[in-house]
Structure 1
Amino acid sequence: MTPRKHHLLDIRGTRIHAVEEGSGPLVLMIHGFPESWYSWRHQLSALAAAGYRAVAIDQRGYGRSSKFWTPESYRIRALVADAVGVVHALGEKNAVIVGHDWGGPVAWVSAWLHPEIFRGVVGMSVPFSDRGLVGLPGCPFGERSPEVVHKELAGPGQDFYQDYFGTLGPVVDEFESDLRGWLRDGVWSLSGDALGSIGINLDTMNPIDIIRGSAMCVPHGHRMKERFMSPPRQPAWFSESDLDFYVGEFERSGVSGPLSYYREMTASWNELESQSGKPMTVPALYLTGEFDVCRGWGLETIARAAERMPNFTGTKVFAGCGHWTQQERPEETNAALLEFLGSLPA
């Protein structure tokens, strides 16, 4: 095992914390919410051992990376510019980019806008959704504004979680009042262990019913955590020490930066208007879990992936897995990544 190196990269005045292991072709990994570079702890060593230069970053707003107060700092083109800047700052000309959760849209759009830099892309949990960023029922490729679609999904008397996050209001209060409990229960509630135990079937159930009746919607006057489930004990894939790491990161960084990604979703949708409808030209792979809610509400997007990606290599669904793909199923994720990387032209 090669030692991990920590870098603080200067990307046009933005500080990006990057963790590197191994040498060879660059593989850049982008995390989601509420996570960090540490989400890729199992992939860094596996990719390095296979002959790749594996790099995982803290996105802006997270960990040791820069925090900004201006809303536009968290729009999609700024996030993509960070990914491009990391490749250049590391002295590389190109990379394969991999993203999970919010890192998924960043990875997809980075490869979509910059195929000259990103020679392949792997999205986890969130499928490629054109300017929509997140494929939703009735709006697989961003055909309508997120603010309109979210209201329809939530129905009367409650807010879709992305809008609830984007207010930077009560969600900050509930997060800060019990940071450890919020992270523990929030991660558990979207896991395959939890969702599998209550009999969810994303392939047969109405996705809108699932959204409206779960923590993915927040009734007015209530808090998201009221719909969370609590683990009987920490699972092996998300141990007490893993939870300790995430708690420490968010105690330092706070949550306002990460939540601002959601605040800017409509602005990001507007930013990508001129790109809408253009194909994703580089080789692409989608990985997800049987019980991943993003798969459930993105079934149409996933089924139509080849329409938008002529070099789409397919979808892999990990049985029993929930939302936290690379953490819940590290060995399957590593195998799929290595197979995809090995298929790319040198």
Structure 2
Amino acid sequence: MSSTRMIKANGIDLFIREAGQGPLVVLCHGWPELSYSWRHQIPAIAAAGFHVVAPDMRGYGQSAAPPDVAAYSIFDLVGDIVGLVKALGETRATVIGHDWGAPVAWHAALFRPDIFTAVAGLSVPPPFRGRGRPLDLLRQNGVTNFYWQYFQTPGVAEAEFEHDVARTMRVVLGGRGLADPSAAMFVPEGKGFLAHATGEEPLPAWLSEADLAHFTEAFRKSGFRGGLNWYRNLDRNWELTAPWQDAQIDQPSLFIAGAKDAVITGLIGAKRINELERVLPNLTRKLIIEGAGHWVQQERPDEVNAALIRFLRESSAA
């Protein structure tokens, strides 16, 4: 059984779920999610002989949500995980992330190889630091309605998502009734992020009404600003990571994604999937799960758990 508690790390309070004993494994969730997103992984990884810890990330759930947009840079986010390892009394850990948690995991391994001895990313490939700020590049390519851009102005996306939190979570997590999932990444002119869906589509088999209620209740309490502030640091993160241009992550690594995940099927994502080894010279496996979408560890927990546990055993033995 997993337990929960609050822990001080990097100067803020983090809510964590944890289970098991053994080498430390930290699980970093994405947007708009919670430590609860790892509910299928925590018991399985603990049973395999590891101490597994999943925080509500900064700005989410019961963890602290600093008011300043600048408090959500990649340095702050990685700093939380470094601080968490220390607060748990450990000096080494494997870090695993999904969605926005994947860049946190990749950068944790990049910035602090002395602490993070192995790294796995789900859905989002490792950092390829491009030739310019991400939002500038979108504009230069004539893109004005990508969801990153819609999320930039404080208050706009918050108002849309908080108007009816239950519908928001049903649409975002449950799928938006789209034949082409990548269309969900573009916001129609004058409309909102949720404009594609009615919110009445049936839930997918992997997401129960009870699961949905858990996410809904948490976001009713916290609001959406904390998680959206991560997106408001995209250009700043590009500037901050200049010293790591073309750097590689040398630790053992694993990449997992759903074959139907719009993050890896789009133009940029598909290219990055084919070039993982450029950044990950010690990539042990690239697992693309047929039929799975973006929420891969919730959609296909058995396959994800098997791959993660095999990776954890191999990398900890090494």
Q: Same fold (TM over 0.5)?
A: yes
Residue 149 of structure 1: which of 131, 134, 137 is its match?
137
The answer for the alignment partner of 2:172 in structure 1 is 186
The AA in structure 2 aligned to 1:334 is N
Conserved? CA contact 2:261–2:293, under 8 Å: yes
Q: Quote the offset at 1:154 in angstroms.
A: 6.1
Q: Quote the offset at 1:313 in angstroms.
A: 1.4
Q: Which runs of 4+ in 1 moved over 4 A?
A: none
The AA in structure 1 aligned to 2:162 is E
Matched, 1:171 2:154: no
Conserved? CA contact 1:8–1:17, under 8 Å: yes
How is 1:66-145 mapped onto 2 (pairs within 5 angstroms)?
A: 66-131=64-129, 142-145=130-133
Matched, 1:31 2:29: yes
The answer for the alignment partner of 1:250 in structure 2 is 219
Distance in 1, matches of 2:69 and 2:201, equals 38
Conserved? CA contact 2:22–2:50, under 8 Å: yes
Q: Quote the offset at 1:83 in angstroms.
A: 0.5
Matched positions, count: 315
Distance in 1, matches of 2:207 and 2:175, equals 13
Q: Secondary structure at the match of 1:54?
A: strand
Distance in 1, matches of 2:276 and 2:295, equals 21
Q: Secondary structure at the match of 1:184?
A: helix
Conserved? CA contact 2:69–2:229, under 8 Å: yes
The AA in structure 2 aligned to 1:292 is D
Q: Secondary structure at the match of 2:184?
A: coil
The answer for the alignment partner of 1:139 in structure 2 is none
The answer for the alignment partner of 2:285 in structure 1 is 314
Matched, 1:278 2:276: no
Distance in 1, matches of 2:142 and 2:226, equals 24
Distance in 2, matches of 1:72 and 1:172, equals 17
Distance in 1, matches of 2:290 and 2:199, equals 22
Distance in 1, matches of 2:312 and 2:188, equals 43
Cα distance change of structure 1 residues 284 and 231 upon mapping to structure 2, 3 Å threshold: farther
Distance in 2, matches of 1:255 and 1:233, equals 24
Q: Secondary structure at the match of 1:130?
A: coil
Residue-by-residue CA offset, 1:155-208 (whole Å, 9 max, x unaligned) = 3xx421011112123211111111111110112226xxx56xx3x5xxxxxxxx
The AA in structure 2 aligned to 1:167 is T
Residue-by-residue CA offset, 1:258-311 (whole Å, 9 max, x unaligned) = 100001110011110111111111111110001101111311111111112211
The answer for the alignment partner of 1:295 in structure 2 is 264
Conserved? CA contact 1:154–1:160, under 8 Å: no
Conserved? CA contact 2:28–2:96, under 8 Å: yes
Provide TM-score, normalisation by structure 1. 0.87
Gaps of 5+ in 2: none
Q: Secondary structure at the match of 1:227?
A: coil
Distance in 2, matches of 1:319 and 1:230, equals 26
Distance in 1, matches of 2:221 and 2:195, equals 25
Cα distance change of structure 1 residues 145 and 241 upon mapping to structure 2, 3 Å threshold: same
Matched, 1:241 2:210: yes
How is 1:11-50 mapped onto 2 (pairs within 5 angstroms)?
A: 11-50=9-48
Distance in 2, matches of 1:322 and 1:153, equals 27
Identity %: 39
Conserved? CA contact 1:111–1:280, under 8 Å: yes
The answer for the alignment partner of 2:51 in structure 1 is 53
Q: Quote the offset at 1:152 in angstroms.
A: 4.7
Matched, 1:222 2:191: yes
Conserved? CA contact 1:166–1:261, under 8 Å: no
